[in-house]
Amino acid sequence: MRPILRRASMLVSLFFTASVLATLAPAGASSAGNDGGGHEYHEDLVLVAFDPGTPAPARASAHASERGEVENTMEWLNLDVVRLPEGVDPAASAVRYERNPNVAYAHPNWEVSLLSNPNDTLYIDEWGLNNTGQSVTGSLVKGVADKDIDAPEGWDVAFGSGSFPSSGGTRVGILDTGIDLSHVDLFNKTKACANALTGTGIIINGSCSDDNLHGTHVAGTVGAITNNSVGVAGVAPNSEFAIFKGLDAAGVGFYADIIAGIHWLHTTGGARIVSMSLGGPQDDALDKELTEAAASGALLIAAAGNDGDSTPNYPAYHADVMSVAAIDAAGERPWFSNCNADVEIAAPGVDVWSTTPGNSYALLDGTSMSTPHVSGVAAMLMWAKGTDASQTRSTMKSTGEGDGGCNNIKVVNLAGALGGSVSEPEPTDPGAIAGKVTDGRTKAAISGATVDCGTAGSATTDSAGNYSITNVTPSTYTCTASATGYRSKSQNVTVNSGQTTTANFALRPQR
């Protein structure tokens, strides 16, 4: 479902087309070791995996050579957890272990610390929050790492590592098609609720059920309950909502109802932020209400529009409203996103997963989807830093990252806005994999051996046993060396930008 609903002359239309593991170090663990790249490891434990079928005496001999004591064995991995004598560096010991022809690999016992990556089942698809270049379910866009809002880094700054409060935050007003109040990812988030659907601006309090899906989707991006093992994560998980339903099941409404809704949200609804993923023509009454709402201290945020040109859409084009354009997972402005002189900031707006009525989830496109990302960042900033509307607006613009593809605007960044460290995109210059394949017993070079590194490519060794695979995209690959009369051997190889990674293989003759 990806229609772009275009506005009629005096109608308002919606702008849309329509578990991470974290392990704690055990009690008493120490991370005295460091590999020089910032990776900590246990001071006296090393992990040693043996080739399948390695007899027990051979394993014991390998450990004896390092004076190691097996603390635990993970049989399904042929992996021993070995405690080394005091003062022996596990990294150096691992290198020595790997010289043993029976050892598949040996590594230090790396320390893994909690980060604010929640366990919500669809979090891996929320590239707008944390983009690693991952494949997103239902998306055809090839993502680029760090083209996102740096949500995990921002959550760490705001909440502390691994903490995700679901209440107590800034109240965000959402003017849309309503909300599914009983959705598992939105339950008990709405603190005020009303609607106006007659075109007269007459408000009915206490009713805001979503019969479209758009409003529920927007709300989920702003503040879905996070780290609850289901669904999606919200940008501002501790935010609360004031919901005003001013658009019907078809996603359209009239200005009288919209104007009434804006006023209700910043007065009766108690919202400090009014998020509007909708648009229409310029109107004096709307202008006056926007000016009044801004003067009251509310931060107004709206979608720039999906005309794909410089069309001025309101309320976004009003001077008191922060206008939001879209980017995709590659960091590019999509074809539909408006770009005019009033656009101030960009945010993820293509292939965005969020909540929909009936405890369901959907992927939608549009500047409608970009707007709640900015509203969520604003809510976090107001809560964490105590900023007012003007300060929040200015901070989001000045701390944005990257290129929003329109008038040199930036992409909103949660970590930057909160004063935390901002992750930088990984460089993408190609690297290479090179090394030598030898006989594990005689150490003689093996010519004609094949080293296959999957999508990185493959190569055949020369007379000296050397091989090289060039123009390799930085990533981690599983490389397997094989040769006639020898057992194949595999290892994981990480290629860094512009660098050559050495991967040597010592093959054992077949018995």
Show which residues are catalytic: 176, 214, 368
- Chain CA centroid to CA 286, Å: 36
As a whole number of angstroms, the distance between CA 329 and CA 135 comes to 10
CB contact at 8 A, 299 and 393: yes
CA angle 64, 493, 30 (to 5 degrees): 50
Question: CA separation (Å) from 20 to 23, 168, 388, 469, 505?
Answer: 10, 25, 35, 32, 32
How far, in Å, CA of 400 to CA of 330, rounded? 16
Residue type, 184: V
Which ranges of 386-435 would DSSP assign to H, the alpha helix?
389-398, 414-417
Distance, CA of 356 to CA of 376 (rounded, Å): 18
Contact 328, 268 (CB under 8 A): no
Q: What Å distances lie between residue 48 and 31, 101, 382, 477, CA to CA?
A: 18, 12, 49, 20
Unique residue bearing structure tokens 């609720």 = 193
Q: Is 353 left (phi over 0), alpha (psi -120 to 50) or beta?
A: beta
Cα separation of 245 and 179, whole Å? 8
Kindly give the pairing relationship between strand 410-411 and strand 458-460: unpaired
State the Cα–Cα distance between residues 481 and 464, nearest whole angstrom.
Answer: 15
Quick count: other Cβ atoms within 10 Å of Cβ 476?
Answer: 10
Helix axes 389-398, 367-385, angle to 10 degrees: 110
Q: What's the CA gap between 27 and 197, in Å, rounded? A: 59
